[in-house]
Chain A
Amino acid sequence: MSTTLLLLSMAACGLVTFLIRLSFIAFGHQLPADPRISALLRYVPPAILGALIGPEIFMVGGGLNATPDNPRLWAALVALLVARLTRSVLATIAAGMAALWAIQAGLG
């Protein structure tokens, strides 16, 4: 049952993604080209990424921790800096994980 549900959810996600990509290619002449819609669309990626990052940093073990003794907060700041400097996903992850492990080891 769970396997069927997983497959169906994944297929539905794939279909939605495909239809978004197909939209203007297939039906461009029928779709409105409103500058307000493109202005709105440009904020979708940063907003969704922010909403995904928030809980990963501040909600640890089921509770909210937004204080300076949260190691994930500092590791995230290190990652932010490294991402800006290197523009590399791999370097960002390496630096963030190293920072998290270092802080956890220091606090433990």
Chain B
Amino acid sequence: MSTARLEFFAGVRAELPLLLGVVPFGLIFGVLGLAAGMPGWAVVLSSSLIFGGSSQVVFAQLWGGGTPPPVTVATVGVVNLRHLLYSAAVADYLRALPWRWKLLLAYLLTDEAFAAAIGRLRDGPATAQRHWFLCGTGCTLWVGWQLSTLGGVLLGTAIPTTWSLDFSIALTFIALLVFSAHRRSDMWAALAAAAAVLPAQVLPHKLGLLAAAGVGIACGLLMRRFDGKKP
């Protein structure tokens, strides 16, 4: 087997364990997208057009709430801003590649594909074929995400609306928050934003979300100095 193929399948193998967490999330998103009022085809399409779990949940929620499109786009952009960090982290390893590779790998650069590939890119041998590893993690995640979203949409039509399933959106975000908050200041940022968003509801066009995120970021930066060493 060629080096490129070996790298690709090593990437596939590295991604498979992460699908254990991704597939249930895709199923839930499929159900939630319908609950938020999006047509089934649009829920499935968003998985390839946007291809970012939490931002797709936000999109469905804002769409269901009748938010003006510019605000929706800005909010989804802010939710996905963290990918700037991933892009910066892999850029060095992809510098010599032609444009079509850069475009493909940028499209595939999600949380889980990045997480599974960055170790190989940073610490593995610096061969000319190593981008195939990232391609392997990205493609595996892509297929898993499309199929699980589709499954969720098929499942979602069978679930009655009286189950307060909309609350599972908040529960998904709580889980994502707990997983991503490593320092105390991360939690302060979240708490400040959660408190600020309530009075910010008076702002027009659902701009409260962006305003509250700004308050949370400022609070996180302020509380950063108190993170210190853990006891």
Contact = CB atoms under 8 A, between A and B. Distances in A.
Do the two chains bind? Answer: yes
A59 interface: yes
A93 B172 contact: yes
A89 interface: yes
Between B38, B165, B190, the greatest number of chain A beta carbons within 10 A of the residue's beta carbon is seen for: B190
Nearest to B109: A21
Contact of B24 (A6, A26, A89): A89
A54 B95 CA distance: 41
A46 B175 contact: no
Interface residues of B, number: 92
Given A20-B87, A51-B196, A57 B170 contact: yes
Interface string A81-108: 0011001111011001100110010000
Nearest to B86: A21
Contacts of A58: 198
A58 B79 CA distance: 21
A11 B217 contact: no
B226 interface: no
A25 B121 CA distance: 14
A6 B49 contact: no
Contacts of B58: 52
Leading 7 A-B pairs by shortest Cβ distance: A47-B216, A50-B190, A43-B220, A56-B170, A50-B193, A54-B194, A22-B106
Interface of A: 3, 5-14, 16-18, 20-26, 28, 31, 33, 38-59, 64, 66, 72, 75-76, 79-80, 83-84, 87-90, 92-93, 96-97, 100-101, 104
